[in-house]
Chains A and B, each alone.
Chain A
Amino acid sequence: MKVLVPVKRVVDFNVKVRVKSDQSGVDIANVKMSMNPFDEIAVEEATRLKEAGKVTEIIAVSCGILQSQETLRTAMAIGADRAVLVETDVELQPLAVAKLLKAVADKEQPQLIILGKQAIDDDANQTGQMLAALLDWPQATYASKVEIDGDKVKVTREVDGGLEVVSLTLPAIVTTDLRLNEPRYVTLPNIMKAKKKTLENFKPADLGVDVTPRLKTLKVVEPAKRSAGIIVPDVKTLVEKLRNEAKVI
């Protein structure tokens, strides 16, 4: 079985971004970029399924600027066999990405597509579900366990209040949650090997997809700042403040 794993290059999760003073967006010049953490979990899961003999080939896909190649190399160092970059300088919104991924899926005919549940930059949490809709495939979002059994995949999902198990007929879409696995560290030999793996490059026009953004960002501002608090010396003072000053208890 072939598995497709879309990955996104995002600002590293430890970086606290700053809003540009002209309110046009977030300043990401000279900021450390990494693979979206949920996508790392997706690549790791695909690799584990391959190691378990359930999967024969893993294709990593990324959509975005040329530098996304680095993210694809990382995916191949974790375990992807080859990679596809859909290169564009246009700001890509989830619907556009879902359409590009559909075009790639139509070419590659995977049985399973594993995505991260959300990217930590736009926090949209849409692409996997949109791709499932465009392909007319079933979906299991927020996966914390994935078991392939014949032509079905059984997925444990993290939902509000607990866990839920669904069974999907393949081909299907799975999006990863944090608890699905612990991604491995890439080793130097694997990084070297990843450089020799195939990386194809397409443009959205090659795939016949219009990626024009649908939502217009009018402005981006910093969230309201909280006024500075105080350090209280003891528990007695704290309770007194909560009762009489904040009036929350």
Chain B
Amino acid sequence: MTALVIAEHDNASLKGSTLHTITAAAQCGGEVHVLVAGHQADAAVQAAAKIAGVSKVLVADGAQFADGLAENVAAQVLALAANYSHILAPATAYGKNILPRVAAKLDVAQISEITKVVSADTFERPFYAGNAIATVQSADAVKVITVRGTAFDSAAEGGSATVENVTAVADSGKSSFVSRELATSARPELTAAKIVVSGGRGLGSEESFKILEPLADKLGAAMGASRAAVDAGYVPNDWQVGQTGKIVAPELYIAVGISGAIQHLAGMKDSKTIVAINKDPEAPIFAVADYGIVGDLFEIVPQLVTELG
């Protein structure tokens, strides 16, 4: 029994999501191999080889992998699939894009966004926006799985895996990368942050959303948002926390002006401590908050910044 983890990386470094996925892979039993399909991704390969629990890093190098196109990466995974009992990828935009292609070609079901490995063939996963947890068993020869990062610890450093080059598959020729526009931020990444400060429709405008910045800076927190705030154009799309956005589980989640719709709660209710600041005492967010303050966020947030000193 050997598990293959598809590394998410930007050629220069491994994404944190890969480390969580390796932990889940190790829990499936057996060896863990990591595939780095990229272009001149030596730094990412070296980082993967140093992770404890990884016995082999497979490297597929080629310009066709530089931008992580699903067609090419999935084809590369399929070329190696025969050797593995489990194939795992992070449940991020990257992993979710690639892995179902692999599963369909292998004629196996994919198990999406697992939160627990019960045994080598049985897994837990939330569905219905996190309102129910299913335990599912797969009878397929190969288990193809995406992993919810927040449910698994990050694999530590301290390994020394062998690095092996594999024959790269040819470019599919059917898709090409055009451009990328990434938001630059000095703040920690949303899904990896220990503290998240999130704003909702209650902020009222793009301008007033800035009231959260001093608070986030003071706490070293990432900033998130509800769908309402994203749709209203206050903040970029990739800040969205929820069923269809990012799933976060920080130590501290501060929800400001967020009512707490089912879809939003699905993205943050596994946070260790939840604080809600809302003027409506009936807002559903108070049902999941450990600490709530009822009042005007435009008064409370600045006070909070002052109080934190």
Contact = CB atoms under 8 A, between A and B. Distances in A.
B286 interface: yes
A179 B237 contact: yes
- Of B70, B105, B126, B134, which is in contact with the most chain A CB atoms at under 10 Å from its CB? B134
B181 interface: yes
Given A158-B238, A218-B135, 14 more contacts: A26-B131, A38-B244, A95-B108, A126-B110, A133-B74, A140-B175, A141-B97, A159-B93, A160-B246, A179-B231, A223-B133, A223-B269, A235-B304, A249-B308
B293 A215 contact: no
B126 A94 contact: no
Interface stretch (A42-50, A54-62, A161-169, A193-201): A161-169
B293 A218 contact: no
B139 A231 contact: no
B167 interface: no
Contacts of A94: 100, 109-110
A218 B122 contact: yes
Interface string B162-180: 0000000000111111111
B61 interface: no
Contacts of B262: 13-14, 16
Interface residues of B, number: 88
A126 to B, nearest CB: 4
Contact of B94 (A159, A167, A217, A234): A159
A158 B237 CA distance: 8
B251 A216 contact: no
Interface of B: 67, 69-71, 74, 92-94, 96-105, 107-113, 122, 126-140, 172-183, 191, 195, 219, 227, 230-231, 236-238, 243-244, 246, 251-252, 262-263, 269, 272-275, 281, 286, 288-294, 300, 303-304, 307-308
A217 B103 contact: no
Nearest to B67: A164
By secondary structure, the B interface counts as mixed
Contacts of B269: 223, 226
- Counting from the closest, the 8 A-B pairs by CB-CB distance are A129-B100, A130-B104, A214-B109, A138-B175, A133-B104, A162-B182, A138-B174, A126-B100
Given A13-B263, A129-B100, A219 B134 contact: yes
Contact of B175 (A166, A226, A242): A166
A166 B110 contact: no
Interface string A134-148: 100111111010000
A62 B239 CA distance: 32
B219 A232 contact: no
B104 A129 contact: yes
Given A166-B177, A218-B137, A220-B132, A120 B227 contact: no
A229 B164 CA distance: 52
Contacts of B173: 169
24 contacts: A17-B132, A95-B110, A120-B244, A121-B128, A129-B70, A129-B96, A129-B98, A133-B102, A137-B174, A141-B93, A158-B93, A158-B238, A163-B181, A164-B181, A168-B174, A169-B174, A177-B237, A216-B138, A217-B136, A226-B274, A231-B281, A234-B293, A242-B273, A248-B252
B244 A178 contact: yes
A153 B134 CA distance: 37
Given A123-B128, A126-B110, A214-B140, A166 B273 contact: no
- Of B236, B275, B281, which is in contact with the most chain A CB atoms at under 10 Å from its CB? B275
A235 B180 contact: no
A122 interface: yes
Interface string A68-109: 000000000000000000000000011100100000000000
